[in-house]
């Protein structure tokens, strides 16, 4: 094999990086974390390794080189324990199935590479995560797994010593750096996208979600209610005499009261519930898997705590109350629009009935 053929094969092998990065982008969008994400990364990297082994550089019958080293070295940093085990197991089985005199040294090299990738994540490199410096470290360390070629027959091993071995080492290091850099950039891009999506769905004053988030949550709640017979309730809350607060103490005081009321409500609900600043001083609670009786109890608890709380406004403190209307998905209110209108009517009765009270949809 001449150097041109070797270089062409290496470039072809490194070209697999683009496909792996595209797949990784889909995985991190689809799976938020945990074992499922790790398993998906493992399957992706394993498939990348199989594709690479199907079109390798052949040094001798049964002795091949391909792009699996970068995938194995980065399996732990990006796929965790489960991702590493899946990647290693699938690649090893496939390499054994390919066969040849290099299969044993190949499998041993793969195990060594995966262990080296894991070990490199334990090295405390300050202010460096999986950037170019850490990838360089992993690439150099992973190349030591090439020591497995000593298990080959002497005459074949000697054909690898020299330019072929140096070229493979350089290719391994370059492969890890390139793949690690692209994977990290994609990971960072997804983090930025999630942060922007979060900011677009959160009210900056109250830190509650906004109407855009409510519409999405309402659609999910409707689907759950239809498919799983989950009960869904809605509480519509309005701060009593909020305009008077703004007029007497100023809009800064009004903003503080609104933010403090929102904080009280957030502490009362579950993580699965959706709390939305629906407009002005109006707050809506979408309570998933919650019967109307439990929604009424929660609304009363919120109302009571807010009534007993003294809200600070400069050097003064002021008392605040709320009114609330409660409605639930039912045969009568069969969609979210009907539930919203019913809760709004109940809220109107609470306000016209004297405020500081909870009313139920009739």
The DSSP-derived string for 99-154 is -STTHHHHHHHHHHHHHHHHHHHTS--TT-SSSHHHHHHHHHHHHGGGGGGGGS-H
Which has the closest alpha carbon to 343: 282, 270, 260? 282
- Rounded Cα–Cα distance for residues 232 and 217 (Å): 11
Residue 62, class by beta-carbon neighbours within 10 Å (0-12 exposed, 13-18 middle, 19+ buried)? middle
Q: Which residues, including other chains, have CB under 8 Å from residue 192's CB and lie 6 or more apart?
A: none
Residues whose CB falls within 8 Å of the CB of residue 325, separated by 6 or more in sequence, listed in order: 235, 236, 342, 343, 344, 345, 346, 347, 348, 349, 350, 358, 359, 360, 361
Q: Is 108 exposed, middle or buried (0-12, 13-18, 19+ CB in 10 A)?
A: middle
* Residue whose tokens read 């290693």: 88
The answer to whether the CB of 278 falls within 8 A of the CB of 359 is: no
Within 13 Å and on the Cβ side, how many CA atoms surround 156?
17
197 is catalytic: no
Q: Please, are residues 318 and 249 in contact by the beta-carbon 8 Å criterion? A: yes
Pairing of strands 322-328, 358-360: parallel
CA 99 – CA 128 distance, rounded (Å): 39
Catalytically annotated residue among 281, 282, 300, 307:
281
Catalytically active residues are: 281
């Amino acid at each position: 094999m001449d150097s041109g053929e070797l270089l062409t094969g290496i470039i072809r092998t490194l070209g697999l990086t683009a496909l792996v990065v595209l797949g990784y982008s889909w995985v991190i969008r689809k799976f938020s974390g945990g074992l499922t994400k790790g398993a998906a990364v493992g399957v992706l990297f394993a498939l990348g390794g199989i594709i690479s082994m199907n079109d390798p550089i052949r040094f001798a019958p049964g002795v091949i080189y391909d792009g699996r080293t970068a995938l194995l070295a980065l399996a732990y940093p990006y796929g965790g324990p489960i991702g590493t085990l899946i990647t290693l197991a699938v690649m090893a089985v496939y390499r054994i199935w390919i066969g040849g005199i290099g299969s044993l040294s190949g499998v041993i090299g793969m195990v060594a590479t995966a262990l080296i990738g894991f070990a490199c994540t334990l090295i405390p490199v300050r202010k460096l995560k999986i950037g170019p410096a850490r990838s360089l470290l992993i690439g150099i360390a992973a190349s030591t797994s090439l020591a497995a070629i000593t298990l080959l027959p002497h005459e074949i091993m000697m054909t690898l010593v020299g330019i072929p071995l140096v070229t493979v080492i350089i290719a391994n290091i370059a492969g890890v750096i390139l793949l690690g850099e692209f994977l990290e950039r994609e990971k960072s891009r997804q983090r930025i996208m999630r942060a922007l999506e979060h900011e677009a769905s959160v009210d900056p004053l109250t830190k509650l979600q906004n109407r855009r988030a409510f519409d999405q949550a309402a659609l999910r709640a409707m689907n759950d209610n239809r498919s799983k017979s989950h009960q869904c309730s809605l509480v519509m809350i309005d701060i009593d005499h909020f305009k008077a607060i703004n007029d007497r103490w100023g809009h800064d005081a009004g903003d503080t009261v609104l933010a403090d009321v929102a904080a009280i409500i957030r502490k009362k609900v579950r993580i699965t519930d959706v709390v939305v600043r629906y407009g002005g001083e109006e707050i809506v609670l979408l309570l998933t898997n919650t019967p109307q009786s439990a929604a009424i109890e929660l609304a009363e608890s919120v109302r009571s705590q807010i009534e007993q709380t003294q809200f600070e406004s400069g050097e003064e403190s002021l008392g605040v109350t709320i009114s609330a209307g409660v409605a639930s998905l039912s045969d009568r209110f069969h969609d979210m629009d009907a539930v919203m209108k019913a809760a709004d009517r109940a809220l109107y009765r609470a306000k016209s009935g004297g405020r500081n009270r909870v009313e139920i949809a009739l």
